[in-house]
């Protein structure tokens, strides 16, 4: 009854403030469950069991306590039989209290023995935990570094791509836009312009011949001073200047000496001298005096075995009864190889060539002529000049098929083309030839020596001449052609097409002819710009070519030549630089407009920027009837496209109907356009 009353009233003795407090009123209620309590005491608490550090002290304690509980259980059961029904409900709750009391009293007795064990192992355990903590912190730091460092690098790369690189490209485009005054009325000889990297910045610089006036009457006849100037492509700074005794007709760069591959050799070709200079410094390497030089130098294979390509030029012979001479020159020393070889070509007209050609059988030939086209094997030319055979077997090679084209058995000349109409132009059918025709680069010359030819004859007939059998592929008749055709890809058939110009009665007509069949692909008419300047062709990322040419306002619809703007002379003639891409044949981009008269031009590829620099040498009018100033101007094509103006042509500019594109579409296309070699 005491136990029941205590539980009912929830006396303080049942459960104290501490878990280990003992209640005498509930002692008897827990003794009848001694076995169950013993199992409870053996149950692991807080990770401690029989095998823990408390095992030795707790085993004896459990045994004694268990015996006391068994003895006391019989007395309690006899005393409380009559109240059994009242005790069954709270009995489980009392047993839980006894179990907790016995557990904590058992734990307190075990702590005394455990203290000694912990005292000895505490130092080593804390040391191990400290070492483990340091190792853990070190591993976490390494893991954080492996995560944060790549993240930081990626962020910096994004910032560089988003801000720094575009800024550098814009800065470079600005540096590629400049102009430089060269001289006065003495002007610049034509063609004076050559492109080569002379300062080692991977960008083609400008080399040009300059003629200026001198105040010193003792200088040269006419008070003229002749020189060659190298100008940096970036900014237009003068790199070096070389004085000459006469005007320079051609500047050719790219000749490589075997012992000095790091710097190029440039040839300065005048009327009576050829001088080789260091392209980086302008220092003279060698010179050879010649009389009446009529052509640029032609790069030949090595004839002497000194690992340096040799050269050939056309000159007028001393015997006036003969027409032309070919002279061999050592590329290494500048010495003449043997004597000039004269020819009687029995022709009239313009000088054609000379050009190097390699036949399909691997035999080298020299193509040249006056109003016609003849050829001679390089082997035969070398024997006639030196009376010796070439050193290598390749140079001694002949092509039996070409030997069948000889005029007669006693002649060394091979007949290529002649007719009643005089030949005006002969050039290799090779993309980019117009930009590299004066180059002495071995690769460029090798490619051009294995192609078919573009032939213009009778001033108005255009043909492609096959090199395999010397037959015409097709013939296109046009108005008189006044400038050398340009070669590029207009359509996507993989065959090079031809761009030609014709001017008459104040109107300039431009045409593009299909290279595969000679049909007309594109045509447009403009006010005549009153200049004769070769057009330029640049390759683009689309696989087609972009065409650059100078003209005045386009003529659309009905026109009257007498009222065409700029023809009457009442107002200054505005000359414009246009860009045409085959993707939009009815649209032109006006890149520049000026009253200057362009004398010559050239394009230079910037591979890293996928851009093109367009160089022009122009004559600029000056007030008070003073001599015109000569201006060298550089322009980035991408920058010019960004600031260009769209000019729409008539629907008749291309065979077939065309849909007029919108301005946004055109601007998006051209601004994404990139240029390549």
The residue-averaged pLDDT of 257-279 equals 85
d(CA 567, CA 555): 13
With a CB cutoff of 8 Å and minimum separation 6, the contacts of 462 are 454, 455, 456, 475, 476, 477, 478, 481, 485, 498, 500, 513, 518
Q: Is the pLDDT of residue 24 over 70?
A: no
Give the pLDDT of residue 584.
94
d(CA 502, CA 520): 14
d(CA 352, CA 426): 7
The residue-averaged pLDDT of 620-626 equals 73
Q: Which helix (H) or strand (E) holds 499?
A: strand 497-504
Q: Is the pLDDT of residue 387 over 90?
A: yes
* pLDDT, the chain, mean: 78
Give the pLDDT of residue 496.
94
Give the pLDDT of residue 529.
86
Q: Where in 69-202 does DSSP place strands (E)?
A: 178-183, 194-196
- Percent of the chain residues topping a pLDDT of 70: 71
Higher per-residue confidence, 357 vs 19: 357
Higher per-residue confidence, 87 vs 672: 672
Q: How confident is the model at residue 354 (pLDDT cuts 50, 70, 90)?
A: very high
d(CA 350, CA 459): 11
Q: What is the 3-state secondary structure (H, E, C) of 11-59?
A: CCCCCCCCCCCCCHHHHHHHHCCHHHHHHHHHCCECCECCCCCCHHHHH
Give the pLDDT of residue 579.
96
The dihedral sign for the CA sequence 218, 222, 223, 228: negative
Collapsed DSSP state (helix, strand, coil) of residue 541: coil
Give the pLDDT of residue 637.
92
Q: How confident is the model at residue 561 (pLDDT cuts 50, 70, 90)?
A: very low
For the ranges 271-280, 344-353, 371-380, which has the lowest average pLDDT? 344-353
328, 376 Cβ separation under 8 angstroms: no
The dihedral sign for the CA sequence 226, 232, 236, 240: negative
d(CA 408, CA 411): 5
The residue-averaged pLDDT of 90-106 equals 47
Strands 298-300 and 310-315: antiparallel
d(CA 2, CA 29): 10
Give the pLDDT of residue 79.
45
Q: Count the Cβ atoms, other than its own, within 10 Å of residue 217.
A: 9
Domain boundaries, the chain: 187-289, 297-477, 479-556+573-650+669-676
What are the tens digits of pLDDT across the range 297-320? Answer: 999 999 998 889 999 999 998 888
- Top mean pLDDT of 18-27, 120-129, 337-346 is at 337-346
Give the pLDDT of residue 625.
62
CATH class for the region spanning 187-289? mainly beta
Give the pLDDT of residue 320.
82
Cα 203 to Cα 138, 178, 235, 237, 612: the distances in Å are: 51, 15, 12, 14, 10
The residue-averaged pLDDT of 91-105 equals 47
Residue owning tokens 């130092």: 123
Give the pLDDT of residue 581.
95
The residue-averaged pLDDT of 339-347 equals 88
Give the pLDDT of residue 345.
84
Higher per-residue confidence, 83 vs 254: 254
With a CB cutoff of 8 Å and minimum separation 6, the contacts of 92 are none
Residues of 31-54 as b/e, b for ≥16 C-beta within 10 angstroms?
Answer: bbbbeebbebbeeeeeeeeeeeeb
What are the tens digits of pLDDT across the range 433-487? Answer: 777 778 888 877 777 788 999 999 988 899 999 988 889 999 999 888 888 999 9
Q: Is the pLDDT of residue 215 over 90?
A: no
Give the pLDDT of residue 131.
66
Structure tokens at 102: 């016995």
Q: What is the DSSP letter of 90?
A: H
Q: Is the pLDDT of residue 343 over 60?
A: yes
The residue-averaged pLDDT of 4-29 equals 46
Q: Is the pLDDT of residue 284 over 90?
A: yes
With a CB cutoff of 8 Å and minimum separation 6, the contacts of 333 are 286
Give the pLDDT of residue 8.
47
Give the pLDDT of residue 648.
92
What are the tens digits of pLDDT across the range 139-178? Answer: 788 778 877 888 888 888 877 766 655 566 666 667 788 9
Give the pLDDT of residue 220.
54
Q: How confident is the model at residue 629 (pLDDT cuts 50, 70, 90)?
A: confident
Q: Which helix (H) or strand (E) holds 235?
A: none
432, 401 Cβ separation under 8 angstroms: no
For the ranges 72-81, 458-467, 511-520, which has the lowest average pLDDT? 72-81
Give the total residue count for the chain: 677
Give the pLDDT of residue 468.
87
The residue-averaged pLDDT of 335-353 equals 90
- How crowded is the C-beta side of 415, counted as CA atoms within 13 Å? 13
What is the greatest pairwise CA distance in the chain?
160
Higher per-residue confidence, 258 vs 78: 258
421, 458 Cβ separation under 8 angstroms: yes
For the full predicted model, state whether its pTM sits above 0.95: no
């Amino acid at each position: 009854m005491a136990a029941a009353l205590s539980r009912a009233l929830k006396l303080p003795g049942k459960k104290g403030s501490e878990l280990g407090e003992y209640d005498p009123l509930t002692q008897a209620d827990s003794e009848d469950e001694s076995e169950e309590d013993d199992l409870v005491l053996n149950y692991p608490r807080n990770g401690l069991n029989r095998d823990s550090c408390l095992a030795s002290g707790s085993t004896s304690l459990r045994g004694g306590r268990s015996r006391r509980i068994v003895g006391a259980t019989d007395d309690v059961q006899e005393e409380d039989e009559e109240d059994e029904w009242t005790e069954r409900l709270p009995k489980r709750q009392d047993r839980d209290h006894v179990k907790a009391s016995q557990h904590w009293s058992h734990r307190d007795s075990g702590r005394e023995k455990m203290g000694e064990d912990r005292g000895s192992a505490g130092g080593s355990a804390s040391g191990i935990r400290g070492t483990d903590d340091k190792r853990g912190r070190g591993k976490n730091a390494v893991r954080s570094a492996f995560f944060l460092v790549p993240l930081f690098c990626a962020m910096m790369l994004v910032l560089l791509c988003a801000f720094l690189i575009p800024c550098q490209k814009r800065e470079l485009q600005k540096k590629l836009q400049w102009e430089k005054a060269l001289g006065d009325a003495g002007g610049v000889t034509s063609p004076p312009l050559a492109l080569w990297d002379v300062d080692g910045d991977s960008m083609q610089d400008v080399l040009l011949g300059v003629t200026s006036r001198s105040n010193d009457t003792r200088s040269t006849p006419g008070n003229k001073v002749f020189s060659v100037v190298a100008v940096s492509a970036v900014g237009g700074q003068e790199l070096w200047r070389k004085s000459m005794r006469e005007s320079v007709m051609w500047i050719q760069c790219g000749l490589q000496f075997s012992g000095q591959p790091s710097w190029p050799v440039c040839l300065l070709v005048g009327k009576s001298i050829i001088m080789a200079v260091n392209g980086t410094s302008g220092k003279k390497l060698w010179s050879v005096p010649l009389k009446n030089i009529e052509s640029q130098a032609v790069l030949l294979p090595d004839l002497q075995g000194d690992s340096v390509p040799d050269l050939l030029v056309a000159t007028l012979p001393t015997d006036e009864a003969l027409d032309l001479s070919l002279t061999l020159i050592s590329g290494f020393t500048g010495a003449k190889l043997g004597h000039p070889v004269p020819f009687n070509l029995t022709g009239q007209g313009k000088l054609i060539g000379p050009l190097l050609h390699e036949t399909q059988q691997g035999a080298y030939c020299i193509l040249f002529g006056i109003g016609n086209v003849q050829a001679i094997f390089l082997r035969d030319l070398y024997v006639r000049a030196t009376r010796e055979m070439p050193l290598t077997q390749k140079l001694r090679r002949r092509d039996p098929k070409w030997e069948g084209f000889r005029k007669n058995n006693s002649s060394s000349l091979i007949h290529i083309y002649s007719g009643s109409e005089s030949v005006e132009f002969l050039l290799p059918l090779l993309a980019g030839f117009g930009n590299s025709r004066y180059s002495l680069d071995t690769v460029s010359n090798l490619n051009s020596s294995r192609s078919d030819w573009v032939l213009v004859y009778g001033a108005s007939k255009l043909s492609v001449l096959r090199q395999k059998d010397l037959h015409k592929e097709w013939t296109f008749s046009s108005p008189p052609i006044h400038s050398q055709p340009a070669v590029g890809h207009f359509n996507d058939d993989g065959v090079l097409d031809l761009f030609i110009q014709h001017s008459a009665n104040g109107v300039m007509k431009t045409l593009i002819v299909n290279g595969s069949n000679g049909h007309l692909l594109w045509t447009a008419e403009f006010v005549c710009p009153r200049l004769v300047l070769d057009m330029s062709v640049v390759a683009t990322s689309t696989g087609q070519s972009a065409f650059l040419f100078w003209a005045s306002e386009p003529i659309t619809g009905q026109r009257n030549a007498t009222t065409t703007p700029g023809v009457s002379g009442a107002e200054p003639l505005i000359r414009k630089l246009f860009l045409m891409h085959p993707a939009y044949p009815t649209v032109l981009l006006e890149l520049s407009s000026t009253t200057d008269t362009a004398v010559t031009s050239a394009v230079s590829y910037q591979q890293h920027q996928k851009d093109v620099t367009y160089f022009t040498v122009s004559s600029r009018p000056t007030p008070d009837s003073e001599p015109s100033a000569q201006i060298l101007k550089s322009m980035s094509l991408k920058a010019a496209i960004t600031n260009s103006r769209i000019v729409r042509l008539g629907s008749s500019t291309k065979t077939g109907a065309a849909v007029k594109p919108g301005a946004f579409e055109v601007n998006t296309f051209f601004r994404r356009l990139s240029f390549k070699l």
